[in-house]
Structure 1
Amino acid sequence: MGNMRSNWILGFVLASFWFSSHSFLLSNDYYEKSCPSALAVIRSEMNVAVAKEARMAASILRLHFHDCFVQGCDASVLLDDTPTFRGEKTANANKNSIRGFEVIDGIKEKLESDCPGVVSCADILTVAARDAVILDGGPYWDVPLGRKDSRSASLDEANSNIPTPNSTLLNLLGKFLLQGLSATDMVALSGAHTIGQARCTSFRDRIYKGVEGAESDNVYLSELKGICPQTGGDNNLSPLDYVSPVLFDNAYYRNIINGQGLLNSDQELNMYGSITSEVVQKYAEDPLAFWQQFSDSMVKMGNIVNPLTFITGEVRKNCHLVNE
C-alpha cells in the first residue's frame, strides 16, 4: 500500500508539472481577431440545443470530460472509425454513454461559414461545456483557448483512463491523479452529476447488490428498482440528481450524504474517513464554494493539453474526420 501511495504521489507531481507547464499555450482572447463571433455562435447554438432537449447540457459536459481524459482536450473523442482508423467512441466508457455530436457539428458548420479553418473542434467542445453549465443555472468562468485537434485517438486510453460508474474511491483517485487533478478537483468535477441521467446498466449493481448506502432510503430504492429491473430495461434512464435534475446546484452532495448517490462512484466520495468526505460535506453546505472550485477545476481540466498537438495537430474542417 505504501508503494502504491508513493507511486500515485510521484505520478501526480509529474502529471501536474506536465500539464500545468503547458497551459501557457492557451489564452482567453485567442479568437478575438481571427474569429470574433466564435463565442457568441457557440452560446447561441447551445441555447437552441438545450431549449430543444434539457438533457443536452449534461451530455455536452460529459463529452468534454471524456475527451480530456484521453490524450488531453484534443477532440479525439469526436473522431469516427474508418476502415483505416480506430476512434474512441466504442470504448466501454463511451459506448451507449456519450452523445451530442450533432450539436458540436452544428456549431462547427456555422463557424466554418464565419471563419473557415480557424476554430478547433477541441475549443468548441470546451466552450460548449462551459455554456452548458451556465444554461442549467451554473457558474461562468473564462475559458482559455487555442487548442489544436488531434489527428489521432486512443481506444486503449479511453478504456483505461475514463472512470466507470462502479469505480471504487481508490480507482477514482488514481485516474484523476493521472491527469494532474487532485482529490478536491475530483469531488468538484463529480458535481457535474448534479445534472443529467444515467442508464440502468450504470446503477443496477448498486441497487441490487447491497452496496453500502444504497438502501438508506427505501422509497428512493423502490423507485430505482421500478426504473431498473434486475433483467432487461438496460437503457432505462434515471436522473443522477433526483432532487433537481436540470439545475446546476449542490443537491448532488446532499444526496450523497443521505446515501442517495445514484452511481457507486458517486457514493464512494463520501466513504467514511476518506480524504474526500470532508469536501463532500463542505459543498453540501456551501453551494458557492462548490461553484468556485468547479469553475477552477474545469479550467484546470480544460488546460490538459499535449504540447505535441500544437505541432502535429490541426483545425479540423469536419470534427468527425482528420483533414486530408
Structure 2
Amino acid sequence: MARPSPSPSPSLLVLSAIAAAVCLAQPGAAALKVDYYASTCPNVEAIVRGVVQQKMQATIRTIGSTIRLFFHDCFVEGCDASVILVSTGNSTAEKDHPNNLSLAGDGFDTVIKAKAAVDAVPACTNQVSCADILALATRDVIALTGGPSYTVELGRLDGLVSLSTNVDGKLPPPSFDLDQLTTLFAANNLSQADMIALSAAHTVGLAHCSTFADRIQPASVDPTMNATYASDLQAACPAGVDPNVALELDPITPQGFDNQYFVNLVNGRGLFTSDQVLYSDARSQPTVVAWAQNATDFEQAFVDAITRLGRVGVKTDPSQGNIRRDCAFLN
C-alpha cells in the first residue's frame, strides 16, 4: 500500500487562517449573507441555476469561461461585475484589456441571460446585482460538473468603474513562478494554500496554443513536462498553427470539476508553467500531492478559497455601487 503523502504544511494552514481573518475584516465583506435575497427574491438561486443548466447544455465552454470570468472580475476591482461593462467612446473597459481579450463570450452570456431571467420575475426586478449572479453562476457550473456545491455569500453591489488601465499587473500570466503567484494572491488577502486550491479551476476549460507554445518548442521542451504529453501538444499545436487554436486544460477529465488537476501535475501534465510549478517547487509540492490523493480534502480547501475570493473588494455601500439594470452598462 502506498504511503500517505504529507498534508498541507502547517505554515500554509496558518497563512490560510490569517487570510480568512483579514478577508472578514475587509470593508463590505462582513455585510455579505447567504440569505441576502430571502425577502426580495427568494428563488434567485433556482432561477440562476436553471439558466446555467441551459447554457451548459448548449455549449460546454460555459463551464471554464464562467469560472474564469469570476476570477478576472474579482482580481481587478473586486467582485463587482466591472469586467462585464463594455467600453465607451470615452474610456476602454476592463474586458478590452489585452489580458482579458481571451475571455470567452459564453461566460458573459451566462450572466446576462441569468440577469434577464431574474428580472423577469416581478418581485426580483432590479433587486439582484450582476456581481451576485456571477458568483452564483460560478458555483453552479462547478457543482453541475461534479465539483462541490457550496453556499454563496450574497449582497454585492455592481461597481461603477471599469478601466482597462486598472487591469495592469492584477492577473497572473501563465509564466508565473511560485513566488510571483503567492505575491499576487497575497495582494488580495489570499494565502498560498488558497492560490493552489483555486488553480485547480484549470481542471476545466480551454487554453490557446499561444499561451504554452514556449514550453513545447522541439529544441527546448520544458524539462518539467511529461515527454508524451509534450509530444501530444506539439502534434496539436505545431509551428505555424493558428495560435488561437484551443486545447483542453485537463486532457484526462476535461468536463469534470475534480482533483485530476493535481494528479496531472504529479504526472508532469500541467499545461502552463504556473500550473506545473506548483508540483516542481518543493515548497508547494506536498500540498499538490496531498490533494491528488484526497479529493475530499481538496474540495474543502477549494470551497474555503473560493468563498474568500468572493469577498475580495466587494462593494456593499451605495456610495460604491448599485444594482445595474443591464450588466454591460452603467445605469
TM-score, length-normalised on structure 2? 0.89
CA contact (8 A) 1:92 1:159 kept: no
Determine which of 256, 260, 268 is the counterpart of 2:269.
260
RMSD over equivalenced CA pairs, Å? 2.0
Using the alignment, how far apart are the partners of 2:287 and 2:101 within structure 1? 31
Map of 1:137-216 to 2, 5 A cutoff?
Answer: 137-208=146-217, 209-214=220-225, 216=226
Aligned length: 310
CA contact (8 A) 2:61 2:205 kept: yes
Which position in structure 2 is the counterpart of 1:278? 286
CA contact (8 A) 1:167 1:265 kept: yes
Change (3 A) 1:305 1:279: same
Q: Which amino acid aligns with 1:217?
A: A
Matched, 1:217 2:227: yes
Identity value in percent: 35
Q: How far does residue 90 in structure 1 lie from its aligned partner after superposition?
A: 1.9
Q: Which amino acid aligns with 1:130?
A: R
Using the alignment, how far apart are the partners of 1:14 and 1:244 within structure 2? 31
Q: How far does residue 93 in structure 1 lie from its aligned partner after superposition?
A: 2.0
For residues 255-294 of structure 1, give each alpha carbon's deviation from its aligned partner in whole angstroms, at most 9, with x where no partner exists: 11111101111001112322x1111111101011111110
Q: How far does residue 310 in structure 1 lie from its aligned partner after superposition?
A: 4.2
Using the alignment, how far apart are the partners of 2:289 and 2:41 within structure 1? 43
Which position in structure 1 is the counterpart of 2:112? 105
Which position in structure 2 is the counterpart of 1:77? 83
CA contact (8 A) 1:41 1:107 kept: yes
Of 204-213 and 311-320, more deviation after overlay is shown by 204-213
CA contact (8 A) 2:82 2:94 kept: yes
Q: How far does residue 40 in structure 1 lie from its aligned partner after superposition?
A: 0.7
Q: Gapped runs of 5+ residues in structure 1?
A: 1-11
Q: Which has the higher contact order (CA 8 A, sep 6+)?
A: 2
CA contact (8 A) 2:156 2:314 kept: no
Which position in structure 2 is the counterpart of 1:21? 26
Q: Which amino acid aligns with 1:119?
A: V
TM-score, length-normalised on structure 1? 0.91
Matched, 1:294 2:302: yes
SS in 2 for 1:187: helix
For residues 57-110 of structure 1, give each alpha carbon's deviation from its aligned partner in whole angstroms, at most 9, with x where no partner exists: 111011001100011100000000011232111223211234321121111111
Using the alignment, how far apart are the partners of 2:51 and 2:45 within structure 1? 10
Determine which of 132, 137, 145 is the counterpart of 1:136.
145
